[in-house]
Amino acid sequence: MDTPSEKKNVAVVGAGAWGTALAAHAARLGHRVRLWAHEPDVAETIRTTQENKLYLPGVALPPELSATSSPAEALEGAELVILVPPSAFLRSVCETIRAHVPAAAPIVIATKGIEESTFELMSAVAASALGRSEDEMVTLSGPSFAKEVARGLPTDVVVASKDAAVLDVVQRALHSPMFRVYSSADPVGVQVGGAVKNVLAIAAGACDGLDMGMNARAALITRGLGEMARLGVAMGGNPLTFLGMGGVGDLILTATGGLSRNRTLGMKVAEGLDPKAYLASQRSVAEGYGTAKAAFELARSRGVDMPITEQVYHVLHEGRPLLEALKLLLTRPHKEELWGFSDGTTAGAPK
């Protein structure tokens, strides 16, 4: 396996499954990695056993990876910072570490979501909380289950930024044959894809849980991709981005893979479980739960048609019965397939 010619001090902020997996990948490339854990017991377990037994059990972590619950210790001398807290806590975590982040260190955001209180994408949240320019933020996304990345299985991702120089540094630092890193100049599209796919995965899980069949799941994923693209384009994203790793690639994985927490949430809802009660029983976060509300409100504020997202929001947050939501989707008026995209087409629009 080839490794970057220049080894870096890498700080990974967030020791959940995904943060730990990214830290393990960076350490396997020969970088010196410090992983910051909010929970001191998680950091202690990693230090003493070289394993994150709580969030990523059964995966031996490289010796080049160390863990700490001290922001100052984690970020001292960092030449690359990767942010991986849950989206609901990204702002507060960034405010906590702000004083310790080296000014010259590129910032990579691997968190996927939309902030519920502001409807901002993660790059805007991090930039505001860290006092940095949003244009220099780098977003990492794509079809990448943490457990498979941690095991070193083949994975393709995308990193996106408006700053080409910073993007090149990050791509060179993280790319390997088993973790191929593509670059993109469309951070908005990549972030919208990474956020909305979690909402659509909940819908796909509910579809499977109701045993609606593979035809229905394929249709849901395809129509969901349209929703994702409509919102992304409305926010300034490139429509072609949604044909890539940060769009359809991530959507297919999360909507069909057995390791998807969001798909699992949808299946539990189909079983009749209360979504809030189910999530309260889980240590890990299903990002689509909060993103459903933020995406619904954001789409409504911009006049973007997102019927699947709308029904997921109502089921999760307003108590709408799942079968009622299904009926509302299936009985929508027929229309031209690409109605609602940026070319202004209205042929076939519902009356």
The strand pairing partners of 68, in sequence order, are 36
Cβ 275 vs Cβ 215: under 8 Å? no
Token pair for 340? 């609602």
197 is catalytic: yes
The strand pairing partners of 140, in sequence order, are 159
In tens, the pLDDT along 112-130 reads 999 999 999 999 999 999 9
| CATH-assigned architecture of domain 190-330 | Orthogonal Bundle (1.10)
Token pair for 155? 């994975």
- The pLDDT score that the predictor gives to residue 1 is 43
- The pLDDT score that the predictor gives to residue 348 is 35
DSSP class per residue in 193-243 = HHHHHHHHHHHHHHHHHTT--HHHHHHHHHHHHHHHHHHHHHTT--GGGGG
Residues 6+ apart with CB under 8 A from 53: 45
Domain ranges of the chain: 9-185, 190-330
Residues of the chain short of pLDDT 50, as ranges, are 1, 344-351
Mean pLDDT, the chain, as a whole number?
A: 95
- The pLDDT score that the predictor gives to residue 5 is 59
Q: Please state the φ and ψ torsions of residue 221, each to the nearest 5 degrees.
A: -65, -45
Q: Please state the φ and ψ torsions of residue 283, each to the nearest 5 degrees.
A: -80, -35
DSSP class per residue in 2-67 = ---SS--EEEEE--SHHHHHHHHHHHHTT-EEEEE-SSHHHHHHHHHHSSBTTTBTT-PPPTTEEE
The active-site residue, picked from 8, 112, 197, 293, is: 197
- The pLDDT score that the predictor gives to residue 349 is 38
What CATH number is given for 9-185 in this structure? Answer: 3.40.50.720
- The pLDDT score that the predictor gives to residue 6 is 86
- Rounded Cα gap, residues 135 and 278, in angstroms: 38
Which residue in the block uniquely carries the two structure tokens 């490794």?
3
